[in-house]
Chains A and B, each alone.
Chain A
Amino acid sequence: MGDHHHGPAKGLSRWLFTTNHKDIGTMYLWFSFAMFILGGSFAMIIRAELFQPGMQLVDPAFFNQMTTLHGLVMVFGAIMPSFVGLANWMIPMMIGAPDMALPRMNNWSFWILPPTFLLLASTLFMEGGAPAFGWTFYAPLSTTYAPPSVTFFIFSVHVLGISSIMGSINIIATVMNMRAPGMTYMKMPLFVWTWLITAFLLVAVMPVLAGAVTMMLMDIHFGMSFFSAAGGGDPVLFQHIFWFFGHPEVYIIILPAFGVVSQIIPTFSRKPLFGYDSMVYATASIAFLSFIVWAHHMYTVGMPIAGELFFMYATMLIAVPTGVKVFNWISTMWRGALTFETPMMFSLGFLVLFTIGGFTGLMLSIAPADFQYHDSYFVVAHFHYVMVAGAVFSMTAAVYYWLPKWCGRMYNETMGQTHFWISFIGFNLTFFPQHFVGLAGMPRRIPDYALQFADFNMLSSIGAFIYGLSQILFLYNVIATIVAGKPTSEEKTWDGAEGLEWTVATPAPYHTFETPPAVR
């Protein structure tokens, strides 16, 4: 990370023992990118097998391992750690704090991640293969019928949970206690707000996931029957517990993305964010609603109709605060002075595609219609519009947006624009046709499909390869910037940017805000 004026130790020990929020943030970001590539290569295997009907490259059992690991690695290895890395870098700089509140815990929460993912990836080489029961690991496929590697999977999930909880506690402790004088809650940048709420969600639901896998462990190894009907348990109980975690989890992924976009759009509109207060309230309402909608993932499981209706109405309600956010972003752009640098392009891409993902989400919330959509490729298309075009696009925007501040060098704009357009086209080519095959009746998680789905699947695979390749361009652009980008020392990289992070020197010195800044 460029040349620092004072502080960092030299060599490997700098990274191993660092308690500096910027070092830890950097490690999180690189780690998550590595996981993004790993999870992406699993996706490439999936799309290559689905390129045409028939089994060509892998066998069905391995295909299931790929879908499972792709989901787990992307959710827990790529998206979540990338936003934690961003939080590490930016939150102290945004609230005028010298570092995170609990720097040593910060170091641990990062360093337990790489060995855990190494363990998870190593299950591929174990007898019986890696977990093959999907990232949602429904019992009894994940208990009675699981490969032996499930025990390592459970251990991995426990450690990941501990890492996330430590990271979240740190963020909450930092935001609550380390704000510069005058930085009231309602003056905090929206990225800080969304992360604060996300962190509370994480502290509340990661233990629930831990509980679910602990019950699996007890069922598998200690003769308990939480999820087996034979001993008085119920496999459906697993789904309730999982989605009680799982639905807040998807907001954990998307809320920081909302925060990033809420920073970037005002900058390139040269106009303050529209409806700051309603943004905060909308975020809080989404977080609250996320706890009472979990069973909309289970409409076909056989619930009493009253339950089905309750979850349908509650889920539909989420459209209101989400709509407020989209309207606010567009009103921010309205009568601004817009420019379209790479971060803005990715944010606009986010805005359009996330909204489409929101629309399909609304369609999926309608319980009777979900009887047709459920577990089809329509769902796959929906959540990739939200996860990839939502979370990943906004993360990419964030990297382009703050990279000059991080390393004091400017990225190559042409390459950035190229990256955006290839990603945008590749992404839509991959996932838009999946709406069609899903509606036409193609179930998800199948290694082979009927002939009428062949054309769209081929198109989808081509799109996936394009999108995958565009990430290599991204990697190249970032490395080229760090190594040989055009040096910049302007404090404000972007003329429309607001916030404390733009008041420190560029590149950001190793220690910032050792004396708290004054906030108006």
Chain B
Amino acid sequence: MCFDAKRLLKLTLNPVLILMAWLSAGAHAASDKINEVNMSPGVTAVGRDIFDLHMIIFWICVIIGIIVFGVMFYSIYYHRKSRGVTPATFHESTKVEIAWTVVPFFILIGMAVPATQTLVSIYDTDDAEMDIVVTGYQWKWKYEYLSETGENVSFFSNLRTPQSEIYNSEQKGEHYLLEVDEPVVIPVDTKVRFLVTANDVIHAWWVPELAVKKDAIPGFINETWTLATEEGIYRGQCAELCGKDHGFMPVVVNVVSKEEYADWFATKQAEAAEIKELMAQNFSLDELMERGKGVYERSCLACHGANGEGGVGTPIAGSPVATGELKGHLEIGINGVPGTAMQAFGGQLNDVDMAAVITYQRNAFGNNMGDLVQPIDVFNHKKG
């Protein structure tokens, strides 16, 4: 019944060797993130602190592990019955037992000190140079830049990966599932405070390289901050299960130079002003259709299908709403259908985009209603 110990040792070691081979293979590929095996220190001081903390604890665990498992395997090899040993009978030793209660305690204190320091710096949200409100929605993020002067800039950030890639009919792109239509842009070397909240369920805003993860809780705000020291594009995801498309609401943060940021912000403010202007204009059917197609793909397609065939949402092709009275269609688009997954898009889309997408829905997918909606119609509907 006894098992050959030499074979045992060999068999036990094999997986370890394989593992080490894997680890070293991973280290080579680490530069391009494929098969990355470790945490990224990222581009913030806090991130580097966390990374150091992580590595210190990791090596402490490795050392303890080598000692503990070393003793164990020594015992497995030398104290096996097949070597003809007679078992000892000791079963306690107060000294040893006190030692291995007290020593770990001091090791823990050694870990707690740097951990506490890092935690204090994570909690220090004072003196931020700018504030961004991050709001989690099922299943996208909204960013609003609080501006000291003039208009706040706000926009939604949706997954850009097309359904065709997700459902494998097209080759997957380099940033599959980690790409958005509009990234959040922040300046480098600037302390940015994020005020995190949610519109519906709990989400969590996570960008590993910025060392930021914070739960977004409906009704309450949480705060966190980052200070990126390197320009670049940093990608993350929602980290808290938030329903069906939890895996499809990435975060992309574009860290740019301060000048670039100022330009970008000015452009966004100008865009907001332009939208205001556009709202007073009239568009042709073609213009609206073109704009509406883009809006549809960003905001409607996930639920209503690429050809308006429906899915989570009802079909739009031939639907009584899209081929019915315009007023009812506007009502649903702007105010949603309470108690269903159909959200109120009135607050998410500007009036130009809303007009365009409704026009698109009424004329695409064989609906061919021929009527067109102007921004002013949306504005009037909202006003009542």
Contacts and interface: CB of A to CB of B under 8 A. Distances in A.
Q: Do chains A and B touch in the complex (CB under 8 A)?
A: yes
Given A271-B87, A455-B35, A305 B104 contact: no
Interface stretch (B126-134, B172-180, B314-322, B346-354): B172-180
Interface string B97-141: 100110011001001100110111011000000000000001000
A445 B245 CA distance: 10
Contact of A366 (B8, B46, B57, B245): B57
A305 B120 contact: yes
Contacts of A336: 75, 79, 85, 87-88
A351 B202 contact: no
Interface in B138-156: 138
B89 interface: yes
Nearest to A336: B87
B178 A359 contact: no
A19 interface: no
B37 A452 contact: no
Contacts of A335: 75, 79, 85, 87-88, 90
Interface in A71-87: none
Nearest to A352: B69
Contacts of B383: none
B1 interface: yes
Interface in B279-318: none
A341 B86 CA distance: 18
B7 to A, nearest CB: 10
B243 A312 contact: no
A331 B96 contact: yes
A183 interface: no
A369 interface: yes
Contact of B39 (A337, A372, A444): A372
Nearest to B108: A316
B246 A445 contact: yes
A456 B111 CA distance: 30
B327 interface: no
A211 B19 CA distance: 45
Interface in A315-355: 316-317, 319-320, 323-324, 326-327, 330-341, 345, 348, 351-352, 355
Interface residues of B, number: 105
A371 B89 CA distance: 47
Contacts of B38: 436, 439-440
Interface stretch (B210-218, B265-273, B329-337, B355-363): B210-218
A441 interface: yes
B365 interface: no
Contacts of A111: none
B86 A320 contact: no
A362 B61 contact: yes
A363 B104 CA distance: 14
A271 B88 contact: yes
A384 to B, nearest CB: 17
Contacts of B123: 305, 308
Interface string A53-80: 1111000110010000000000000000
A339 B91 contact: no
B77 to A, nearest CB: 9
A390 to B, nearest CB: 16
Interface in A434-474: 435-436, 439-441, 443-452, 455-456
A372 B208 contact: yes
A230 B176 CA distance: 37
A312 B244 CA distance: 32
B50 A275 contact: no
A351 B213 contact: no
A208 interface: no
B2 A305 contact: no
B367 to A, nearest CB: 27
A277 interface: yes
A450 B201 contact: no
A363 B57 CA distance: 6
Given A330-B75, A359-B65, A319 B108 contact: yes
Interface stretch (B183-191, B231-239, B374-382): B231-239
Contacts of B160: none
Contacts of B53: 366, 368-369
Contacts of A371: 50, 122, 211-213
A12 to B, nearest CB: 38
Interface string A303-317: 001001100110011
A119 interface: no
Interface string B8-27: 10010001000100100010
Contact of A368 (B36, B119, B201): B119
Contacts of B219: 228-230, 234-235
B79 A452 contact: no
Interface string A476-497: 0000000000000000000000
A278 B97 contact: yes
Contact of A272 (B91, B118, B247): B91
A199 interface: no
Contacts of B236: 441
B108 A271 contact: no
B182 interface: no
A235 B218 contact: yes
Contacts of B204: 300, 374-375
Nearest to B170: A54
B176 A53 contact: yes
A427 B215 CA distance: 31
Contacts of A456: 35
Contacts of A446: 237, 246-247
A204 B49 CA distance: 39
Contacts of B86: 337
A56 B39 contact: no
Nearest to B223: A302
A191 B82 CA distance: 28
A34 interface: no
B166 A55 contact: yes
B54 interface: yes
A337 B72 CA distance: 13
Contacts of A425: 15
Nearest to B86: A337
Contacts of A155: none
B225 interface: no
A455 B213 CA distance: 26
A374 B175 contact: no
A276 interface: yes
Contact of B54 (A236, A305, A369, A421): A369
Contacts of B237: 441, 443, 446
Nearest to A301: B215
Contact of B87 (A144, A270, A362): A270
19 contacts: A132-B243, A138-B240, A235-B217, A271-B88, A273-B91, A301-B217, A302-B223, A305-B120, A327-B100, A334-B71, A334-B79, A338-B80, A340-B5, A368-B46, A428-B15, A440-B37, A441-B208, A446-B247, A452-B35
Given A64-B241, A371-B211, A372-B54, 19 more contacts: A53-B176, A138-B240, A235-B202, A270-B87, A271-B87, A275-B93, A302-B215, A305-B123, A316-B108, A319-B108, A320-B101, A366-B111, A374-B239, A428-B15, A432-B19, A433-B22, A435-B37, A445-B241, A451-B174
What 4 A-B pairs come out closest when comparing CB atoms? A229-B219, A446-B247, A359-B61, A440-B36
Interface of B: 1-3, 5, 8, 11, 15, 19, 22, 26, 33-40, 46, 49-50, 53-54, 57-58, 61, 64-65, 68-69, 71-72, 75-76, 79-82, 85-93, 96-97, 100-101, 104-105, 108, 111-112, 115-116, 118-120, 122-123, 138, 165-168, 172, 174-178, 200-202, 204, 206, 208, 211-215, 217-220, 222-223, 235-248
